[in-house]
């Protein structure tokens, strides 16, 4: 753990509010608003689901967090830094602190499972000896110890997903984003994946899991951010024991008003 913190995270003892959205609106050119006037923050060490139907804007919200998109309106703070004020050369440092499990995995096809998982460490300049030590250990943890040299195309969907998860967490990022991580796996594997995220959460990682699988969300005692037609609302965990992270839209929460009024974009 100390190694990773030195290598990738820098000094994280003070951990500011990890992610903060203030009145963020995002709209692709010529289209409807994907996200409208969204405000919320993710506290360090929290676990949130991001729910909503397909096309509700979950991936866009995640892309805004990992700085692949810039908002049209509003302010996004990532690790206490205003995203607008980040210079290009500062962006990699921020991204190294965010592990992302992409919806379509985005593994590099010609690299083995081992090399795919090793990427974040190589990029951060880790020694090969350390990579050879840690990567197989993590792949074993996700149940892929026998597939170190396998190319992604020779792995099943579930196995590729686990490689993607291992790559997202190998550098122990303080923030883990997962975009529909259970979309391609059966219920049993989906549960195992979420337990894996729970483990990381217990180790101090802030987790945001985007999913449209409400049944799965209901089995865990974590708050949700719900997106519907671009509007963001907060939903308390089913058990109701955990306090809600502030999440609001300037309009009423999406849950209470799931459809947009005509012309509201």
Partner 1 sequence: MFSGPRDIPLSRDGSTRYLPWIIGVMIYLAVLAVGAGLMARDVATDWRADLAGVVTVRIPPAVQGDPAKTEERVAAVLAVLKVSAGIAQVRRLPAGETERLLEPWVGREVLKELPLPTLIDLRLIPGSSFDYALISARLSEAAPGSVIEDHANELQEVARLARTLLFLGFAVVAVVAVAGILSVIFTVRTGLAIHREVVEILHLIGARDGYIAGQFQRHVLRLALVGGLVGMLFASVTFIGVFWALSPGAMAANPIALIAGLGFSVIDWALLAGTPVVGVIVAVLAARYSVLRALARMP
89 is a contact residue toward partner 1 (CB under 8 A): yes
Instruction: Tell me, rounded to whole angstroms, the distance of Cα 62 from its chain centroid.
Output: 6
Work out which of 4, 40, 47, 66 binds partner 1, going by CB under 8 A.
Answer: 66
Is 171 strand, coil or helix?
coil
Within 8 A by CB and 6+ apart from 135, the residues are: 114, 117, 118, 121, 148, 166, 170
d(CA 132, CA 56): 40
d(CA 134, CA 175): 20
Are the CB atoms for 19 and 175 separated by under 8 Å?
A: yes
Considering the complex, state which of residue 55 and residue 92 has its C-beta at the smaller distance from partner 1. Answer: 92
Q: Write the binding mask 167 to 196 for partner 1: x where contact by CB under 8 A, - elsewhere.
A: x-----------------------------
124 is a contact residue toward partner 1 (CB under 8 A): yes
What is the separation, in whole angstroms, between the first and last Cα of the chain? Answer: 46
Q: Write the binding mask 125 to 164 for partner 1: x where contact by CB under 8 A, - elsewhere.
A: ----------------------------------------
Work out which of 6, 32, 122, 259 binds partner 1, going by CB under 8 A.
Answer: 122
Q: How far is the CB of 86 from partner 1 (least distance, A)?
A: 12
Considering the complex, state which of residue 67 and residue 244 has its C-beta at the smaller distance from partner 1. Answer: 67
d(CA 151, CA 183): 21
Work out which of 16, 17, 32, 123 binds partner 1, going by CB under 8 A.
Answer: 123
246 is a contact residue toward partner 1 (CB under 8 A): no
261 is a contact residue toward partner 1 (CB under 8 A): no
Are the CB atoms for 138 and 169 separated by under 8 Å?
A: yes
Q: How far is the CB of 186 from partner 1 (least distance, A)?
A: 27
d(CA 259, CA 230): 9
Q: Which residues pair with 227 in a beta bridge?
A: 232
Question: H helices of 142-213, where?
Answer: 157-169, 187-202
Considering the complex, state which of residue 67 and residue 148 has its C-beta at the smaller distance from partner 1. Answer: 67
68 is a contact residue toward partner 1 (CB under 8 A): yes
H or E stretch covering 179: strand 175-179
119 is a contact residue toward partner 1 (CB under 8 A): yes
Number of residues that bind partner 1 (CB under 8 A): 22
Please spell the DSSP secondary structure of 13-37, one letter per residue. Answer: SS---SEEEEEEEEE-TTS-EEEEE
Q: How far is the CB of 7 from partner 1 (least distance, A)?
A: 11
34 is a contact residue toward partner 1 (CB under 8 A): no
Interface with partner 1 (CB under 8 A) = 66-69, 88-89, 92-93, 95-96, 100, 106, 108, 110-111, 115, 119-120, 122-124, 167
């Amino acid at each position: 753990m100390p190694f990773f913190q030195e290598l990738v995270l820098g000094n994280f003892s003070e951990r500011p509010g990890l992610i903060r959205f203030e009145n963020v609106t995002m709209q692709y050119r010529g289209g409807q608003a994907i996200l409208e006037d969204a405000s919320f923050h993710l506290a360090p060490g929290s676990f949130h689901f991001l729910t909503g139907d397909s096309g509700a804007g979950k991936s866009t919200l995640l892309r805004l967090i990992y700085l692949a998109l810039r908002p049209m309106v509003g302010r996004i703070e990532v690790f206490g830094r205003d995203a607008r004020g980040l210079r290009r050369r500062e962006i990699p440092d921020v991204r190294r602190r965010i592990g992302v499990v992409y919806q379509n995995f985005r593994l590099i096809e010609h690299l083995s499972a081992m090399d795919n998982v090793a990427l974040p460490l190589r990029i951060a300049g880790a020694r090969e000896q350390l990579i050879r030590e840690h990567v197989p250990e993590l792949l074993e943890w996700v149940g892929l110890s026998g597939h170190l040299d396998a190319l992604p195309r020779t792995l099943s969907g579930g196995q590729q997903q686990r490689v993607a998860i291992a790559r997202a967490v190998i550098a122990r990022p303080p923030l883990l984003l997962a975009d529909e991580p259970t979309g391609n796996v059966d219920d049993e594997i989906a549960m195992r994946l979420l337990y894996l995220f729970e483990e990381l959460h217990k180790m101090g990682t802030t987790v945001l899991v985007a999913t449209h699988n409400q049944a799965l969300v209901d089995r865990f005692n974590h708050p949700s951010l719900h997106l519907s037609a671009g509007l963001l609302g907060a939903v308390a965990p089913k058990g109701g024991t955990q306090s809600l992270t502030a999440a609001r839209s300037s309009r009423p929460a999406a849950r209470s008003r799931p459809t947009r009024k005509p012309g509201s974009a």
